[in-house]
């Protein structure tokens, strides 16, 4: 994309995020909320939409949604109610979805996001509560809906509490969209109201993206992008779509309002070729449930129950631990990770930076290989602290510690035990090292001569020889000092 093109056009993105709440039971009935299991085993007359069954809202789901609204700086409604959204689709047994319409729980909030673009506020239009649908499997043909023979429906997921969060169209690039979803995910994670796993579908992101000439009064044709199953996909899909739309306009094409599907493999979007039409959902207040009028005390209680949110946590980490923005960003991705780090720092009692280095440089490499989170791993925070202390005390070298941490990662054993078992103790006993140093000096007269002539670089070679003799167990700093004093 040329500079002129990027100045000529502006991109507008609005995001719609659905989050499944991790309550014990469903939104309007007592069926458990869970993943997996045999199809149609977590269903009852209410979530199957059987005649005569009556929905009763889940108090925890209402409170979780109020909590989300509060964390997103929304106004929390003093009056909210459920509506029926009417349409036909086989994964929705009642032929309407219970949702919220003109009286959602939260409105007019914002999320502050930071990135290479600076810091900006992305407005939150609304936060509302609804129920999830069932899952269809399309049988026959390629397995896609279009050429399938029939479909099979499992209603285990139907009725799971689902929060919809709609952003204002304040996002102007793929990078901002990615930053927004990352921050929103971190906020939701800190609230402990959802698993927020995009890969598993407990957090789903749809984007509306349009392109217009810079300064044009009207937005361009709105394209809805679906099927982005990770934060990375959100960025890739929107980058592709931004370029596609700009090129189309450059080529004199007219963009149309449509829904496009993101293909993870090719990194491209393609039109679903569905006709765009105005749905007529005939929303009307759900007659089976009475409205909500939370009093100020309830709202205040929810606001007061908010945990430390990611932004405050990052500020605190910068202030008390003196870490870089990048380190802080990684260590506060989830509250569990941040908690793990803080526990390790507390157990260590020394410089937080050292703990951070071990986590980011060593543990993360191991975790990435195994696809685990810090808090899922076998190493406890206090064990990492103990390992760093062993290095500080000179009991083992930094290099040996790297070997120890790999073993700890596999076994979950204490570092002292690993050191013992592997015979990794660093030799800091002058006498023992001296024997090796004397041998090396005797065996390498040429090298010794060079050092005496001032070619200091050769010292490293001799240090290496001593380390080899000690099978890596000599304290390198001591080896260095002894060699120097004996040669000169």
Could you tell me the smallest distance in angstroms from the CB atom of residue 189 to another protein?
Answer: 20
Task: Answer yes or no whether residue 142 interacts with another protein by CB under 8 A.
Answer: no
Task: Answer yes or no whether residue 53 interacts with another protein by CB under 8 A.
Answer: no
Task: Answer yes or no whether residue 294 interacts with another protein by CB under 8 A.
Answer: yes
Task: Answer yes or no whether residue 251 interacts with another protein by CB under 8 A.
Answer: no
Task: Answer yes or no whether residue 261 interacts with another protein by CB under 8 A.
Answer: no
Residue in 1, 5, 35, 45 binding another protein, rule: CB under 8 A: 45
C-alpha span between 374 and 364 (Å, rounded)? 8
Cβ 162 vs Cβ 129: under 8 Å:
yes
Could you tell me the smallest distance in angstroms from the CB atom of residue 285 to another protein?
Answer: 4
Other CB atoms within 10 Å distance of the CB of residue 399: 14
Task: Answer yes or no whether residue 300 interacts with another protein by CB under 8 A.
Answer: no
Phi first, then psi, for residue 56 (nearest 5°) are: -130, 125
Pairing of strands 258-263, 223-228: parallel
C-alpha span between 100 and 96 (Å, rounded)? 12
Cβ 209 vs Cβ 242: under 8 Å:
yes
Stretch that binds another protein, among 165-173, 194-202, 213-221, 283-291 (CB under 8 A): 283-291
Task: Answer yes or no whether residue 222 interacts with another protein by CB under 8 A.
Answer: no
If you ran DSSP here, which 8-state letter would residue 376 be given? G
Q: Which residues contact 3 (CB under 8 A, 6 or more apart)?
A: none
Residue carrying the six token digits 């393609």: 270
Could you tell me the smallest distance in angstroms from the CB atom of residue 106 to another protein?
Answer: 17
Stretch that binds another protein, among 288-296, 384-392, 443-451, 452-460 (CB under 8 A): 288-296
Residue in 6, 12, 53, 86 binding another protein, rule: CB under 8 A: 86
DSSP of 61-94 = HHHHHHHHHHHTTPEEPSSB--EEEE---TT-TT
Of the CA atoms within 13 Å of residue 195, those in its CB half-sphere come to: 16
Helix (H) or strand (E) holding 120: strand 118-131
Q: Which is nearer to another protein, 139 or 315 (CB)?
A: 139
Of the CA atoms within 13 Å of residue 50, those in its CB half-sphere come to: 8
Task: Answer yes or no whether residue 270 interacts with another protein by CB under 8 A.
Answer: no
Q: Which is nearer to another protein, 219 or 292 (CB)?
A: 292
Collapsed DSSP state (helix, strand, coil) of residue 19? strand
Residue in 17, 62, 186, 223 binding another protein, rule: CB under 8 A: 62
C-alpha span between 65 and 298 (Å, rounded)? 13
Task: Answer yes or no whether residue 138 interacts with another protein by CB under 8 A.
Answer: yes
Distance of CA 71 to the CA centre of its chain: 17
Task: Answer yes or no whether residue 30 interacts with another protein by CB under 8 A.
Answer: yes
Task: Answer yes or no whether residue 369 interacts with another protein by CB under 8 A.
Answer: no
C-alpha span between 124 and 184 (Å, rounded)? 11
Task: Answer yes or no whether residue 290 interacts with another protein by CB under 8 A.
Answer: yes
Task: Answer yes or no whether residue 137 interacts with another protein by CB under 8 A.
Answer: yes
Task: Answer yes or no whether residue 31 interacts with another protein by CB under 8 A.
Answer: yes
Number of residues that bind another protein (CB under 8 A): 57
Could you tell me the smallest distance in angstroms from the CB atom of residue 303 to another protein?
Answer: 18
Task: Answer yes or no whether residue 278 interacts with another protein by CB under 8 A.
Answer: yes
Residue in 38, 199, 218, 453 binding another protein, rule: CB under 8 A: 38
* List of residues contacting another protein (CB under 8 A): 23-25, 30-33, 38-45, 48, 56-62, 81, 86-90, 136-139, 145, 148-155, 274-275, 277-280, 282, 285, 287, 289-294
């Amino acid at each position: 994309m040329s500079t002129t093109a990027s100045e000529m056009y502006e991109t507008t993105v609005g995001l719609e995020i659905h989050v499944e709440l991790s309550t014990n039971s469903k939104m309007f009935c007592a069926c458990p909320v869970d993943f997996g299991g045999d199809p149609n085993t977590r269903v009852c007359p209410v979530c199957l939409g059987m005649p005569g069954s009556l929905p009763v809202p889940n108090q925890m789901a209402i409170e979780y949604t109020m909590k989300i609204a509060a964390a997103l700086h929304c106004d929390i409604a003093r009056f909210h109610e459920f509506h029926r959204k009417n349409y036909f689709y086989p994964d929705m047994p009642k032929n309407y979805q219970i949702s919220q319409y003109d009286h959602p729980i939260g409105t007019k909030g914002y999320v502050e996001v930071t990135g290479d673009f600076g810091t900006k506020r992305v407005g939150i239009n609304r936060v509302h509560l609804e129920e999830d649908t069932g899952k269809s499997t399309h049988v026959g043909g390629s397995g896609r809906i279009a050429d399938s023979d029939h479909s099979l429906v499992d209603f285990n997921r139907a009725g799971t509490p689902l929060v919809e969060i709609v952003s204002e169209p304040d996002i102007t690039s793929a990078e901002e969209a990615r930053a927004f979803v990352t921050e929103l995910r971190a906020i939701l994670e800190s609230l402990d109201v959802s698993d927020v796993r995009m890969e598993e579908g407990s957090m789903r992101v749809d984007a509306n993206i349009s392109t217009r000439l810079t300064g044009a009064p009207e937005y361009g044709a709105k394209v809805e992008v679906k099927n982005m199953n990770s934060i990375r996909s959100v960025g890739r899909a929107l980058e592709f779509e931004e370029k596609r739309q700009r090129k189309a306009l450059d080529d004199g094409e007219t963009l149309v309002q449509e829904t496009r599907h993101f293909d993870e493999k090719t990194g491209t979007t393609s039109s679903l070729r569905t006709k765009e039409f105005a749905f007529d959902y005939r929303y009307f207040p759900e007659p089976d449930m009475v409205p909500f009028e939370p009093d100020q005390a309830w709202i205040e209680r929810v606001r007061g129950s908010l945990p430390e949110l990611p932004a405050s946590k990052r500020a605190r980490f910068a202030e008390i631990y003196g870490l870089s923005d990048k380190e802080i960003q990684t260590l506060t991705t989830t509250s569990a990770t941040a908690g793990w780090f803080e526990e390790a720092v507390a157990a260590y009692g020394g410089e937080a930076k050292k703990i951070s280095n071990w986590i980011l440089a060593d543990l993360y490499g191991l975790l990435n290989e195994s696809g685990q989170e810090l808090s899922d791993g076998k190493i406890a925070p206090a064990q990492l602290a103990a390992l760093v202390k062993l290095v500080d005390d000179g009991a083992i070298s930094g290099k040996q510690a790297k070997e120890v941490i790999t073993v700890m990662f596999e076994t979950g054993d204490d570092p002292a035990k690993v050191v013992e078992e592997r015979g990794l103790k660093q030799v800091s006993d002058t006498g023992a090292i001296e024997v090796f140093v004397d041998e090396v000096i005797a065996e390498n007269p040429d090298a010794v001569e060079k050092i005496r002539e001032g070619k200091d670089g050769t010292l490293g070679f001799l240090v290496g020889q001593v380390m080899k003799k000690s099978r890596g167990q000599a304290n390198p700093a001591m080896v260095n000092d002894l060699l120097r004093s004996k040669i000169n």
